[in-house]
Structures are given as C-alpha cells and as structure tokens.
Structure 1
C-alpha cells in the first residue's frame, strides 16, 4: 500500500497514498540514521557563503522538478539526470539543510518533503556531495533515503561522503 509511494514520487504502476494516513492497519516504520548523522555532524562546517550557495542550488532543485523543466537540471547537477514524466507530481520542498566540508568539496544533508494534491505528505533524507565548478556548486552525487515506507537506502553508520 505505501511501498509504491517513495519520497513523494509515484513508482511505475503505483498509486497515490490518498487515505493511507487514516488506515489503522497500515504500519510504516520510519527510518532513522542516528549514527550516520552523528558522524556527519562532526564534520567541519562550511562557510556561510558556501552554505548559502548550496541552499540556493538545492532550492532550485525543487523548482526544476515542480516545473518539469529538464533544461535547468544542469544548474543543479554536475551530470544532469533525465526527468521521468510523472502525471501527478507532488510539490517538492528542501528543508533543514546542513552543509559540511569534505575533501574535494561539500556534503549537504537535507530533508525533502513532498505534498501531493490530496494533501498527503512524504519525507526523505537527501545526502548530497557537491563540487565547485566554474558555474558554481553542483550536486555530484545524491542519495535519497525515504523516511516512511519503502526499503532503507542508507545503512545506519555509513557515511556516503567519506
């Protein structure tokens, strides 16, 4: 029931989560990553200027996905992916972004929230590795870990930025 709705995106053949939050028989475990986050939090902070630039890039991601303008993905990703056409794409929001310094660039940990037309909400952790280019910071790698429903993507205690 909820496994075909991951981080606000409908899987092929899936259905929207409408009403799922009201079903007493649905039990969805929330994934948490306390050891992974503790290791991330111990990394050195990015500068204020770096943090602001990364937050801007990640905010742009939400706008690009929501407008469906694949031509703008090059302003977000180092190697832009293609957009999957989704007929009922929910609104995307990137919040609670922390930015840390890592060898060769920056790492950002954010929360992604999506809101579907029926009011249902999904959330995920996004862990991004960013590199600086002549055109500004770009996401080199992204791992999206659903918080509710679906399989865990990141095993607690791992550090994708290491």
Structure 2
C-alpha cells in the first residue's frame, strides 16, 4: 500500500492573510519533486487577519506609566503568541478530523505564523512531522524594544485612519 501524501499547513505573518501563500503553493504544485508526495495544501487566516478581521474589536490607546511619550495600544492580538498558536492547533484538529487516514503533516510558517506552528509543536509534541519556519518571531521585550515601540506607536497614532472616499486614501 502506498504511503499517503503529506498535508502542508501554511501559517502567515502578522499583517498578512492566507492568500500570501498562493504564489508559493502554485509553484509547489508544479514541482515534479512533489507530485504524489503532497496530498493537500492548507492555508488559514490568523485571528484578526483576512476573513477573521473584526472591526468591532478596536484597540484602546493608553500610556505606559501614564507617560504621554509612551503610547501603547491594548488589543486582543497583544497576546499573539497564545492566540496564534491556538488558531494553528484548531487548524491541525480540522485537518485530522477531515482525514480518515493520518497523513504526514508539515507546518510551513513565516514570522508570527512560524512562531505559532513552533508553539503548537511545543504544546502538543508530535503534531508535525516536519516544520519549515521562516523568521520566527518571539515575544521578548526589553528596553530597546520598548523605545522602538513608543516611536512606532506614535507614528501610527498620528496617521489618518479613516477615509470617506477611496480617492482620499490613494492620494
């Protein structure tokens, strides 16, 4: 009996959506090396990204240590390590429940997606038969990070966030 082909599970980075993987998947499907080796290509949107975008959940601006020079935004995605890993685990469970025969599962992720797959494997050892991780980020916070965060949040808060017509946004 032939070995079942693998499932490739793709996880995207912060600020992207699952379609970012479409060009990669198109090329992989054309690769003679993968013919018969891959049964299924799965992508999904991380929470608050793509089809999971939720405009009803808005960020709340606050100032660290009540210092107006240290603006921050509180949002559920501040807890991205846990939220994104939970989303990855949910995808794994969907894949497993939809497939009667267990197939090899390879996780492929970039940045937050890579960290999510890595965390999923750490929480549930043996989930993946292989991981391909591009630039996995981690949640380490230090003084340098804090200073850069203040600068970036200040710039973001100063930008226009709503446009009444598309032409305004394009200008």
Name the TM-score class by shorter chain: under 0.3
TM-score by length of 1: 0.24
Structure of higher CA gyration radius: 2
Higher relative CO (Cα under 8 Å, sequence separation at least 6) belongs to 1
* Larger relative helix fraction: 2
More strand by share: 1
